[in-house]
Structure 1
Amino acid sequence: MSPLKQSLPPIPDHRRAQGKLYDLPHRLLFSILAVMSGATSYRRIHPFIRTHQARLNEAFGCRWRRTPAYSSIRYALHGLDVEAIAPHFRAHALPLAEDAAVIALDGKTLRGRLDRFEDRRAAQVLSGFAVGERIVLGQVLIEDAGKDHEIQAAQRLIEILGLAGRLYTLDALHLQKNG
């Protein structure tokens, strides 16, 4: 069994009992594999799973007879609790990068997250990336779009990752002095 699959089962499933024809851990794992293979939307995740379904079933002990519809994949993934999932992904990624010497922190604005109707700014996240290992270690949401908030998010992410004594690279805005 893959280490990533082992970290997925404890993730809470928000769906009703009638909506659990396809189990969440396999659906999430197959979606991750699809995205890693270049799928950029729910409509592209579906054909990846359909094309590779026999191999995925065999490799991961799954018994799906049909591929879930893209709308079913979207519903299952949209309802996931990000705060509940993040520790599982960090727990998977940190051992892979325990010898990481350099960690890059960078903030990004998420495309398509601007909501003019509700007068909300686009969501921003700060990611920690182990450079030598080429793996994302974790992400935190930047609470507000201001520069000071990215600095606070960086401090929060470094604390969450618990990787003291490493070299961190950050944008120039993090060089501000207090007072």
Structure 2
Amino acid sequence: MQVLLEEFRQLPDYRKNKVRYTHPGEILFLSLLALLSGAGSYEDIATWMKERKRELSKFLGRAFKAPAYTTIRNTFLGIDTQAVEKMQQKWIHQLSNTPKDSQTLTIVATDGKTMRGSANKEMSEKARHIVSLFLTESKLTLAQAQVQEKTNEIPALVELLDALNLTNCVITMDAMHTQKKH
């Protein structure tokens, strides 16, 4: 857990007024723990942190002041999502590269999905579509990318695969991806 916390602490601090006890990376990490514990809203996350203030102070190694739910919300709205995604990909890649039997192949599944509720008819925005790479054995999403408008998931998947250094893998794809170039 400490290793993952240190990864979150490396996220860039986007705020102009940096306050020591509310580093955005720590808020995201503690929010993740709260969500895993059953919190379902910003208020629930803030309550979870307040109730565990003493334990969190020990875990963080310093005095901890639980942020208000608005601070938690602002952290989620202001954080650099690309930095979070890079951190997640690095972590998943480390997990997937654990030494295994040389005879074992890693199975990576690919799939594209339209994100429910992401359309905005008032702004004439279509629903977002993402393509993902999924490690079937460990049940982790290795990487994902949003499909650009006026295209399909083929170029997005090619871009994802080019960005990753996958070795000793079997990659499963939909029939749409049976292209000569692939």
CA contact (8 A) 2:56 2:64 kept: no
Distance in 1 separating the partners of 2:37 and 2:131: 23
Is 1:166 aligned with 2:169? yes
**2:136 is aligned with what amino acid?**
V
Structure 1 residues 155, 9: closer, same or farther in 2, change over 3 A? same
Structure showing greater Rg = 2
Shift of 1:54: 2.7
Distance in 1 separating the partners of 2:39 and 2:164: 28
Alignment gaps of 5+ in structure 2:
99-104
Shift of 1:30: 0.8
Distance in 2 separating the partners of 1:44 and 1:161: 36
Shift of 1:42: 2.7
RMSD of the alignment, in Å?
A: 2.5
Shift of 1:91: 1.1
Which protein, 1 or 2, shows the higher relative CO under an 8 Å CA cutoff with sep ≥ 6?
A: 1
Shift of 1:145: 6.7
**Number of residue pairs the alignment of both structures matches:** 175
Distance in 2 separating the partners of 1:25 and 1:10: 7
Shift of 1:113: 2.0
Distance in 2 separating the partners of 1:107 and 1:126: 4
Runs of 4 or more off by more than 4 Å in structure 1?
18-21
Shift of 1:88: 1.5
Structure 2-normalised TM-score?
Answer: 0.81
Shift of 1:62: 4.4
1:55 aligns with 55
CA contact (8 A) 2:5 2:29 kept: yes
Percent sequence identity is 29
Segment of structure 1 superposing worse, 42-51 or 83-92: 42-51
CA contact (8 A) 1:102 1:167 kept: yes
SS of equivalent residue, structure 1 residue 8: helix
Segment of structure 1 superposing worse, 102-111 or 115-124: 102-111
Distance in 2 separating the partners of 1:142 and 1:9: 30
**2:46 is aligned with what amino acid?**
H
Distance in 1 separating the partners of 2:150 and 2:112: 10
SS of equivalent residue, structure 1 residue 102: strand
Structure 1 residues 164, 156: closer, same or farther in 2, change over 3 A? farther
CA contact (8 A) 2:110 2:134 kept: yes
1:28 aligns with 28
Structure 1 residues 4, 167: closer, same or farther in 2, change over 3 A? same
CA contact (8 A) 1:125 1:140 kept: yes
Distance in 2 separating the partners of 1:20 and 1:120: 39
1:68 aligns with 67
**1:111 is aligned with what amino acid?**
R
Distance in 1 separating the partners of 2:150 and 2:44: 31
2:157 aligns with 154
Distance in 2 separating the partners of 1:61 and 1:16: 25
